Amino acid sequence: MKMGATLKSRRSFSFSSWLDSIADALFIWPAVSILLFFSIFPLVLSLYLSFSRLEFVRGGVNVRWVGLLNYRKVLVGSEQDHFLGQFATPSLLGWLLFALATLGLLYFLVQYVRSRPRSISGFLLRVALTFVLTALIGLLVTTMTGGGRPGTLPITLFYVFAGIVTQYLIGLGLALLAAQHLSARRFFRVVFLLPMMITPVGVAYMIRMMADTSKGPFAPLWQAAGLSDWSWVTSPWGSRFVILLGDTWQWTPFMFIVLLAAAEGQGQEPLEAALVDGASRFQIFRHITLPAILPVSTALILIRMIEAFKLVDLPRIMTGGGPGTATESITMHSYSAWNARDYGGSAAIAYILLILVTIVATAFVNLIRQRTTEAV
């Protein structure tokens, strides 16, 4: 009897242990399966579509495999001028910017070679990233300076890099200001966050109305400045800067609130010790505050970079991508191809954007984040 009871208890214990071991999978895998289905299935389907040509026919659809034809059309075919732009000899400023950027990339590559530990795979990855980034910088200077005309790729890169630099500098300045013990600082913290509460469509219409030189609320100021007969809608660079203004107004609060939390989260002992030793405000910022917020800044810029590549609301509402295609982003280009029922071309443009974001984000992490981590 005792042996039977013992075997029964062992079986019960084994069954309970088995249930405990698979309990996590039973509760987690259904949710994981649903998420994977709704994320991976569209990704795979759109990848297949980028290598195909989809046509609606009587009774259904006709999907025909065309290989790399959609990508070739965008990069070297009929859509090249639309996507890459028209090339021209860069101006003196363009050559200077290209030289400075290339020297900076080579400097980071040399620093990695001189650092330890290092690996062959890491070196080859950084060489490839340096080559790709140099090509992108060359694309920018040959289409946006001199007599060139930028396509949707250079325009998107302009939105990303110019927007992030502007938003980070303004957000950092506001964060350092709001971190001071000033009167009414809580009120201004709330005011600085207001743009985040407005939808991108609302921001686009508001900036469009405010920038109207003939009927907007600032029309008297435009007239006083002699710009009443000037329209930014018909100027390529004017349109780009107004869209950049709207994007900066919308996303600077995001930079501000994260940098404010990072600035207020740093230790007070080093700041007090530096003040006692007679350090200036600039020295405290350079040697104490900036290293303390660098890890947060790296993650913040990476998140904002990924989001900036997907810009579509502001150019679509404010300018419709015009004049011509002067303000059209890659996402808007893909959307336009979809509306034209070029589903394969739209998917190809979307995957080129995915590859571009991956390359730029990887380059940023490898070339910048390692340096900031070592500095901290």
What are the tens digits of pLDDT across the range 52-64?
A: 998 888 877 888 8
pLDDT band at 374 (very low <50, low <70, confident <90, very high): low
Type of residue found at 156: T
Residues 163 and 41 in one domain: no
Q: Are residues 309 and 203 in the same domain?
A: yes
**Which range marks the domain in which residue 361 is found?**
71-87+148-375
For residues 77 and 16, state if they share a domain: no
The least confident of 17-31, 122-136, 273-287 is: 17-31
Q: Is 19 found in the same domain as 158?
A: no
Burial of 151 (0-12, 13-18, 19+ CB in 10 A): buried
Q: Is 60 domain-assigned?
A: no
Structural domain includes residue 366: yes
Please state, in angstroms and rounded to a whole number, the distance separating the CA atoms of residues 63 and 7: 62
212 and 359 in a common domain: yes
Q: Cα–Cα distances in Å, from 175 out to 31, 159, 169, 255?
A: 39, 23, 10, 9
C-alpha separations of 160 from 68, 92, 145, 248, 330 in Å: 28, 23, 18, 11, 12
Average pLDDT, the chain: 83
205 and 321 inside one domain: yes
The pTM for the full model equals: 0.85
- Cα within 13 Å of Cα(282), Cβ side: 0
Closest CA to 48 of 40, 56, 60, 58: 40
37 and 83 share one domain? no
Residue 129: partners with Cβ closer than 8 Å, 6 or more residues away: 359, 362, 363, 366, 367
Same domain, residue pair 306 and 164: yes
Whose structure tokens read 């303390």? 292
Q: What are the tens digits of pLDDT across the range 98-110?
A: 999 889 888 878 8
Burial string for 58-73 (b: 16+ CB within 10 Å, else e) reads eeeeeeeeeeebbbeb
Nearest CA to 363 out of 310, 298, 291, 307 is that of 298
Q: What is the mean pLDDT of residues 231-254?
A: 89
What's the domain count of the chain? 2
89 contacts 327 by C-beta, under 8 angstroms: no
pLDDT tens digits, one per residue of 182-219:
777 778 778 888 888 888 888 888 888 888 877 778 78
Same domain, 21 and 83: no
Q: State residue 7's pLDDT score.
A: 45
Residue 173 sits in the same domain as residue 213 = yes
Taking only the tens place, the pLDDT of each residue in 295-340 is 888 889 989 998 899 889 899 998 888 888 889 999 999 999 998 8
If asked whether residues 221 and 76 sit together in one domain, one would say yes
Structural domain includes residue 100: no
Residue 226 lies in a domain: yes
> Angle, to 10 degrees, between the axis of helix 343-364 and the axis of helix 152-178?
40
User: For residue 118, what are the contacts with CB-CB under 8 A and spacing of at least 6?
Assistant: 112
Q: How large a percentage of the chain has pLDDT more than 90?
A: 24
Distance CA(144)–CA(62), nearest Å, equals 40
**Residue 64 in contact with residue 53, Cβ under 8 Å?**
yes
Query: Is the residue at 352 inside a domain?
Result: yes
HSE-CB at 132 with a 13 A cutoff on CA atoms is 16
Preceding omega of 270 cis (within 30 degrees of 0): no
Do 36 and 81 lie in one domain? The reply is no
Is 135 among the domain residues?
no
In a domain, 117, yes or no: no
Q: Is residue 109 part of a domain?
A: no
CATH number of the domain bearing residue 354 = 1.10.3720.10
